[in-house]
Structure 1
């Protein structure tokens, strides 16, 4: 995920909404450190272009506030590697050979990725392994964000899923990703939020095995 200061103002706003969810004009103003008038001008243009939509939310005190979130059109601007054809072919395979065969395909993909990355990660200290895995996922379009939450404990957030439509239909793809992380990092990995299960992102708690 590119740093915000490397993006245009419009793309900064889109990325903030992708990673944080709906935001008010004041939220965006505070983060970008530009005038509220400039922010509202951008929001007006983006709403007219069909990239964002607004809704009113009630607050404990004061008047309702407008917040802005991404439309489906805007979601399509973020990296997606899937095609409808892939789902069609997997559906045909499941119908002909059974869903276990489709699951084995995901497992073979997991094993291939493990073979591809394990030599690079093998001899690194644990924190470096986690950081490098986050970089790999980011390069593959997952829009990652990594936080340290304690000694040898990390939170990995994936704000985008390039295979989201496939994972929505075949949950085994998500399980294979979890298994891949555990194998590459030699760590306990827990997924607490998942895009394929109506989460806002995929969130992993990663702890080094004792």
Structure 2
């Protein structure tokens, strides 16, 4: 019920898991809008635990300063090849919808959307590898390259940080 959901949102806001604000409407009362806070990130799947960070740091100590980036490059190159072999869809838009579905299943909370200017985007509101991404920002470029490989078109990656939240949009012509 509406009141049940509202009560859950009030509790999550009180506990620091949700931000809230009022969005004005053309008519009537303003709409209450909620979004997850940075604190809620720990509640979701995170693939890059401390072990992974320690492993990459050890590779750097043993094999030199470029070792972590080389390992990450190799992983993303293999992932891109694997996704490209499995991708479904004849058009860029179809492939993007498929990729958004795959990424959503991997914990990225991804959605496909058409922009007003006729272009399209895949919008992600969570990254299960956020701590890795923060430590190794080049992963952002590897993700963009992976999207370009799978979609078969140029992609522009845009990171949005609001109130400590991570959001990422991959823009492309459909």
Normalized against structure 1, the TM-score is what?
0.65
Q: Which residue of 2 aligns with 1:174?
A: 140
CA distance, structure 1, for counterparts of residue 122 and residue 98 of structure 2: 12
1:18-58 C-alpha deviation (Å, 9 max, x unpaired): xxxxxxxxxxxxxxxx24xx55533443356x35367899x
Return the match for 1:97 from 63, 66, 75: 63
CA distance, structure 2, for counterparts of residue 204 and residue 167 of structure 1: 16
Change (3 A) 1:199 1:193: farther
CA distance, structure 1, for counterparts of residue 21 and residue 125 of structure 2: 24
* Unmatched 5+ stretches in structure 1: 1-8, 10-33, 58-65
CA distance, structure 1, for counterparts of residue 151 and residue 18 of structure 2: 40
Q: Which residue of 2 aligns with 1:115?
A: 81
Q: Secondary structure at the match of 2:173?
A: strand
Return the match for 1:183 from 127, 131, 149: 149
Return the match for 2:17 from 43, 46, 52: 52
Q: Which residue of 2 aligns with 1:79?
A: 45
Q: How many residues align?
A: 164
Larger Cα-atom Rg: 1
Change (3 A) 1:124 1:52: same
CA distance, structure 1, for counterparts of residue 21 and residue 87 of structure 2: 47
Q: Which residue of 2 aligns with 1:142?
A: 108
CA distance, structure 2, for counterparts of residue 183 and residue 53 of structure 1: 35
Normalized against structure 2, the TM-score is what?
0.77
Query: RCO greater where, 1 or 2, for CA within 8 Å and sep 6 or more?
Result: 2
Change (3 A) 1:178 1:55: closer
Q: Secondary structure at the match of 1:80?
A: coil
CA distance, structure 1, for counterparts of residue 111 and residue 60 of structure 2: 34
Q: CA RMSD in A?
A: 3.2
Q: Secondary structure at the match of 1:99?
A: coil
Q: CA deviation at 1:153?
A: 2.4
Change (3 A) 1:101 1:152: farther
